[in-house]
Structure 1
Amino acid sequence: MKIENSLPCSQLPEAPPQTGLQFTVATEEDFDDIMAMSKDIYGGLDYLPSRYQAWLQESNRTVILARKQGKVIALESVCVIDDGETMLVEGLRVAPQERGKGVAGVLLRFCSQLVKSKYPDVKVSRLTRDDQLGPKDFQKYRLITKQGILLVRFRAEDLKLRLGDLGPNISVAGEALSTANIPVCLEPAEVHQLFLSDVLMQDVLPNATIVQDWQPFKPLPSNMAILMKKDIDWMVDDAKRPTMTSLCTFPFHVPIGDDWYYLNIDMFGKNLTLAIQQLLCHLRRHTGTLKGYVMCQVFMEPALWKPMAEFFRETLKVELVKEYTEQCVVESDVI
């Protein structure tokens, strides 16, 4: 499967003339215009500055810009996954002065038509949302899964000291953390063996979906090849019979400030104690060498959100940035 980012603009279909929009394939030269358009997006947690160059190199992805009178006003990225059957939509942003005018809908329809014309086997479009979905949304989308989002911030040096002070005697909801099930960090071969096994992962992955940093993948060899190219720590409670697993991205800079980092942890499973054991392992591993401030976003089973938030506040003495929000993975048919 291959979508060329070097596709000449002349080969793109034209936008409906009544929209006043022109569509072009994004290039390295567009970076500054895109950053100016999306300033302050996601509260300063925009991941795109650190990923834009890599996106342009991905053979299964295309990044489309919408222009108005030659000026960049919107961006959308589409990535073909799931053995060519799914179009993953991500990275949408619209310039502030153009929001609420239907630009996003026109751009999404254009991207869908472009991908469908090149890949007729694409059947569904998937995306993740963290806003409240209403009845109209569920007329358009099918819900694949949902997770609670826990967003916290801390100074890396402070958390490192706090983790060192905890010692072995940590309790969660009045229950001592067991040292019997020490989390296992998986090697690449172990990742493939576990995550491609329907039997072993059927009770762990929600609706047979790996959601990694907002991206939903079916556990297929082609998708694992994509995931294994990323800087991710894969962790389980038991390498032979996992009941809890987590994926942690390596920290990267975000625009909120020069010494600010973002850390993303995706957790799957329903056992709070096992989840906290893995959380602590990820935090120890990735805050040990950081200097500065960290925005950490943890995705988990909704029922785990409240006790996990209490653990961050009461035990780790970490500040919650906002209260409960949800990540919803949804899909719709591509016609």
Structure 2
Amino acid sequence: MKIDSGLSSPTLPESPPQMGLQFTMATEEDFEEIMAMSQDIYGGLDYLPTRYSTWLQEPHRMVILARKQGKVIALESVCVIDDGETVLVEGLRVAPQERGKGVAGVLLRFCSQLVKARFPKVKVSRLTRDDQLGPKDFQKYRLITKQGILLVRFRAEDMKLCLAELSISENAAEAALLDPNDAHRLFLSSVVMRDVLPNATIVQDWQPFKPLASNMAILAKKNIDWMVDDARCPTVASLCTFPFRVPIGDDWYYLNIDIFGKDLELVQQQFLAHLRRHTATLKGYVMCQVFLDPALWELLAEFCRNTLGVELVKGYTEQCVVESDLM
């Protein structure tokens, strides 16, 4: 099995002989082949095209490919967070013709061995899932927290008109947009960790972090808007990624909003504030995915349908943050 020469080779898991897999570290030259393998993944909302180059530059991240007869058939990304104690597993994809053959399991075991060899302090593996967890999953994973997933779509031009009409009748105070220093201070405060964040976890666009200074330094390098209802003692907090293009079609954008807290009015307020900021300059269609307390999902869905007039793409689903001991 093959890995780049910059890393020591750990004892690797044996793969079934019939698989004939080779493992390599991803490079810029692999991009087109990875995209060809990943067509139609995540319903056209694949984030990897916009993140791939950045991932390759992150010092504590490894992007590993599985090859069969020289062709890329699977990818996994692992990133070390939480002061070096946790590995975040994300980006798993397997070529359609290879699914259901055990490729993902072999690749994940290889990644675990590689992480242990390079980062011996890592004790825990963490990931997010949006499928239904069953009894077998809970034998393997510990559930950290979960959020409801609300996925809507709309034309940016229509949303701008709707938001302009809403602003005329609104009397509520605006949400507070935080600068990086204030975000760092607030999200590491005991009040936010205890009363706002779900099980003291910052979940940013599917990536779950403990509220630690080292993790805030990672998040500070991203294009994120941080909002709260009160910059001194917040009840609701939210993070919004800047919109990026997705492969679903021409002039389609993806907007991800993570909202923490249980006050519906404040959740709606911050939801609208993010929409105003990030649809103002867009032209085309937007797929907006909102993560929020499960108890608020139906109420915000009704608000989206009845007040904003946007289309719900699917019914209720959940984002589950789980972790297990690194074996």
Q: Mark the runs of 5 or more structure 1 residues left unpaired by the alignment.
A: 1-5, 171-177
Report the alpha carbon displacement of residue 167 of structure 1 after superposing the two structures with TM: 3.3
Counterpart residue type for residue 109 of structure 1 = R
| SS of structure 1 residue aligned to 2:169 | coil
1:116-174 deviations in Å (ceiling 9; x for gaps): 1111110100000000011000000000000000000000001101111123435xxxx
Please say if residues 305 and 324 of structure 1, whose CA atoms lie closer than 8 Å, have aligned partners that are also in contact.
yes
Instruction: Supply the distance in 2 between the matched residues of 1:101 and 1:12 (Cα, whole angstroms).
Output: 25
Paired position in structure 1 for 2:294: 302
263, 284, 303: which is aligned to 1:292? 284
Correspondence list, 1:87-102, <5 A: 87-102=87-102
Instruction: Supply the distance in 2 between the matched residues of 1:258 and 1:81 (Cα, whole angstroms).
Output: 35
Give aligned-pair identity as a percent.
76
Number of residues paired by the alignment? Answer: 322
Paired position in structure 1 for 2:304: 312
Matched, 1:61 2:53: no
Instruction: Supply the distance in 1 between the matched residues of 2:36 and 2:8 (Cα, whole angstroms).
Output: 27
Paired position in structure 2 for 1:277: 269
Distance 1:40 1:12, change over 3 A: farther
Paired position in structure 1 for 2:86: 86
Instruction: Supply the distance in 2 between the matched residues of 1:247 and 1:289 (Cα, whole angstroms).
Output: 19
Correspondence list, 1:1-335, <5 A: 7-8=4-5, 11-13=8-10, 16=14, 18=17, 19-169=19-169, 179=172, 181-335=173-327
Please say if residues 141 and 330 of structure 1, whose CA atoms lie closer than 8 Å, have aligned partners that are also in contact.
yes
Please say if residues 82 and 209 of structure 2, whose CA atoms lie closer than 8 Å, have aligned partners that are also in contact.
yes
Counterpart residue type for residue 64 of structure 1 = I
Q: Which runs of 4+ in 1 moved over 6 A?
A: none
Instruction: Supply the distance in 2 between the matched residues of 1:117 and 1:191 (Cα, whole angstroms).
Output: 34
| SS of structure 1 residue aligned to 2:271 | helix
Instruction: Supply the distance in 1 between the matched residues of 2:325 and 2:193 (Cα, whole angstroms).
Output: 26
| SS of structure 2 residue aligned to 1:199 | helix
Please say if residues 8 and 117 of structure 2, whose CA atoms lie closer than 8 Å, have aligned partners that are also in contact.
no
RMSD between superposed Cα atoms in Å = 1.4
For normalisation by structure 1, the TM-score amounts to: 0.93
Instruction: Supply the distance in 2 between the matched residues of 1:200 and 1:327 (Cα, whole angstroms).
Output: 21
Report the alpha carbon displacement of residue 212 of structure 1 after superposing the two structures with TM: 0.2
1:10-39 deviations in Å (ceiling 9; x for gaps): 854556252411000000000011001010
Report the alpha carbon displacement of residue 7 of structure 1 after superposing the two structures with TM: 4.0
Paired position in structure 2 for 1:173: none
